[in-house]
Amino acid sequence: MNYQVHSHSVLESKISFPFMGMFDRIHPIFTYKITQLKHLGNSSGLKQRIPSSCSLHCSFTQKTFSSSTKISTEALSTEEDVIIALGSNVGDRVHNFNEALRLMKASGIKILRHGCLYETEPAYVTDQPCFLNSAIRGTTRLRPVELLKELKQIERRLGRVDGIRYGPRPIDLDILFYGKHKVESEELTIPHERIWERPFVLAPLIDLLGMAPSNEIEATWHSFARCSGGLFELWKGFGGGEESVGREKLRRVLPVASQLWDWSKKTHVMGVLNLTPDSFSDGGLFQEAASAVSQVKRLLSEGADIIDVGAQSTRPFARRLSAEEELGRLIPVMDAVMQIPEMEGKFLSVDTFYAQVAYEAVKRGVHMVNDVSCGQLDPEILAVVAEVGVPYIMMHMRGDPCTMQSEQNLQYGDVCKEVASELFERVREAELSGIPLWRIILDPGIGFAKGTEHNLEILMGLPSIRKEIAKRSLGASHVPLLVGPSRKRFLGEICGRCVAVERDPATIAAVTAGILHGANIIRVHNARDNLDAAKVCDALQRKRRTMRME
């Protein structure tokens, strides 16, 4: 069967660039288009004509450079970059997404990146439940029509049946882009014809890009938008782009327990529970189940949203326990904590870098895994977290607790830039292991392979960390940020407080700086006082947003 495949340079409307400044902005795409057309002419015997006289000042019509060409499916057997949109508003929507991802991988689609997860109001047919929307970026050897057939088969396997167009559905899978090609047939149109009018499609699509096109594929995708600013300009036109996220019609969410967590509404407090005899702050106080449960109740009564339970000390030079030793400390307390009624509606996190510990904890009802090593101390934890399907907190650290404060690991040029770069590499590894971006929380690792000045730079430089990550992945730059400066040694050095519990006022100052610079979660030992600080910071930020709008 033949279908219409257009070169990426074919646009349906005439675009003029009478000014050199505008030409400069599209020059990389323009240069690439000519190169690709020459390649097409050489490889397939096409007789496309490229004008020899094209001055920098002239207007031109992109249709001049190429025309529709019939190419058989066999000509598209090489691996191609694809972007596929996902939507669901029937049944367990998160489960539908998980199953769709699994079945796409089984069909030969290699998933490289995920967009964030959005809950959106329905479009076109409005009398139906809200949708979850996202998108993935990957590669496939399936030809366009073959890919379409695989996606339709996945939809059917997940229960989709013919019904009202734009009506309720357990899963909806649409091909947004397929390499540098345009496809037009009775069965399929690529780029997807309704991308340009759907903010719930554009938002996760933009997540899959960096701040600027990083290769020819991305440059082509931007050119399809028919705007001088590409997809970014198009996205900005929908209510201000990123400014529209967080409103009722488009909320960025993270699935945890049975909830869709909108972490942007307020700063969330994570209370620390150490089950260790040697932790720097409260070692030995909560090793027994009864005392641990009492501490959890206290933290919850003081306003903690999350309880983070750790059975292994990660202070500098701490002795590393085996996974079995860690579980021996953890399980009795975990089982007891899960039974208390105060945990209703709250989240429980396990602080571990062991895959075995993470697996056993989640089996007992834990909602999150908090890994200080981003999967570097036990690489199997990435596959386990992908399998159990819980949020994954990824913290930056160099080395391990015994080596993290070595001279080598404390060497930074620009600490924010390097932390961002190293965190992003771990995010890439996590996504390739099957952990969707919409389950990831990032922690820059205050006090871990950092000196005092580094910690201060990070607390003040959280926007720089997000911006640096955004150069590579806009989606990754939007995930929740956690900071944990609570009672850390650098605060003692600044304030002259040798005893950790005397550093609570300094902790309040540190978390205040972190929240005002973009932290979404604070990990603290003293929930009550830090919650008050968070409430004031949230009020200040709401006021700042109001003032901007006036």
Kindly report the three-state secondary structure assignment for every residue of 379-441.
CHHHHHHHHHCCCEEEECCCCCCCCCCCCCCCCCCCHHHHHHHHHHHHHHHHHHCCCCHHHEE
b/e per residue 67-94 (b: at least 16 CB within 10 A): eeeebeeeebeeebbbbbbbbbbbeebb
Is the peptide bond preceding residue 191 cis, with omega within 30 degrees of 0? yes
Q: What phi and psi values does residue 320 have, to the nearest 5 degrees? A: -85, 125
Cα-only R_g, the chain: 26
105 classed as catalytic? no
- Per-domain residue ranges for the chain? 80-250, 266-547
Q: Choosing from 252, 398, 488, 489, which is the catalytic residue?
A: 488
Distance between CA atoms of residues 425 and 428, nearest Å:
5
Smallest Cα–Cα separation from 525: which of 331, 338, 298, 315?
Answer: 298
CA atoms of 213 and 230, how far apart (whole Å): 10
**What tokens were used for 343?**
């945990």
| Structure-token pair, residue 183 | 């496809």
Buried b (16+ CB within 10 A) or exposed e, 149-163: ebbeebbeebebeee
Q: Smallest Cα–Cα separation from 523: which of 288, 324, 273, 341?
A: 273
How far apart CA 519 and CA 210 sit, in angstroms, is 22
pLDDT on residue 277:
76
Is 76 within 8 Å of 181 (Cβ atoms)?
yes
Tokens of 217: 């594929």
Distances from the Cα of 52 to the Cα of 27, 37, 319, 360, angstroms: 17, 14, 71, 67
Name the residue among 435, 347, 432, 433 with its Cα closest to residue 389. 435
Please say whether the beta carbons of 34 and 28 come within 8 A. no
CA dihedral 197, 200, 205, 211 (to 10 degrees): 90
pLDDT of residue 22: 36
Q: Take residue 110 and report the two structure tokens written for it.
A: 């290699």
Contact 111, 105 (CB under 8 A): yes
Q: Are 231 and 209 in contact (CB under 8 A)?
A: yes
Give, in order, the Cα–Cα distances in Å from 156 to each of 35, 93, 449. Answer: 41, 15, 50
- How far apart are the C-alpha atoms of 87 and 170, rounded to whole Å? 8
Check for a shared fold between 80-250 and 266-547: no
pLDDT at 4: 47
Classify 529 as helix, strand or coil: helix
CA pair distance 537, 472, nearest whole angstrom: 29
Ordered per-residue pLDDT tens for the chain, 550 residues:
444 444 443 333 323 333 333 333 343 334 333 333 333 343 333 333 223 322 222 222 233 223 233 334 444 458 999 999 999 999 999 999 999 999 999 999 999 999 999 999 888 888 889 999 999 999 999 999 999 999 999 999 999 988 777 778 999 999 999 999 999 988 899 999 889 888 999 999 999 999 988 899 999 999 999 888 899 999 988 777 888 888 768 999 999 998 999 999 999 999 999 998 755 555 556 668 888 999 999 999 999 999 999 999 887 877 789 999 999 999 999 999 999 999 999 999 999 999 999 999 999 999 999 999 999 999 999 999 999 999 999 999 999 999 999 999 999 999 999 999 999 999 999 999 999 999 999 999 999 999 999 999 999 999 999 999 999 999 999 999 999 999 999 999 999 999 999 999 999 999 999 999 999 999 999 999 999 999 999 999 999 988 887 7
User: Cα separation of 10 and 37, whole Å?
Assistant: 10
Active site residue 523: yes
* CA distance linking residue 500 with residue 155, whole number of Å: 55
**255: β partners:** 260
Task: Name residue 166's amino acid.
Answer: Y
Contact, 508 vs 527, CB < 8 A? no
Helix (H) or strand (E) holding 544: helix 527-549
Q: How far apart are CA 206 and CA 201, in angstroms?
A: 9
Tokens of 388: 């159990």
Comparing C-alpha atoms, which of 488, 482, 481 is closest to residue 450?
488
Which pLDDT value is given to residue 248? 67
Pairing status of strand 69-72 against strand 117-120: unpaired
CATH class entry, domain 266-547: alpha beta
**Identity (one letter) of the amino acid at 71?**
I
What is the C-alpha separation between 488 and 481, in angstroms, rounded? 18
Nearest Cα to 355, choosing from 334, 336, 371? 371
Considering the segment(s) 80-250 as one domain, its CATH architecture is 2-Layer Sandwich (3.30)
Report yes or no: 153 and 135 within 8 Å, Cβ to Cβ: no
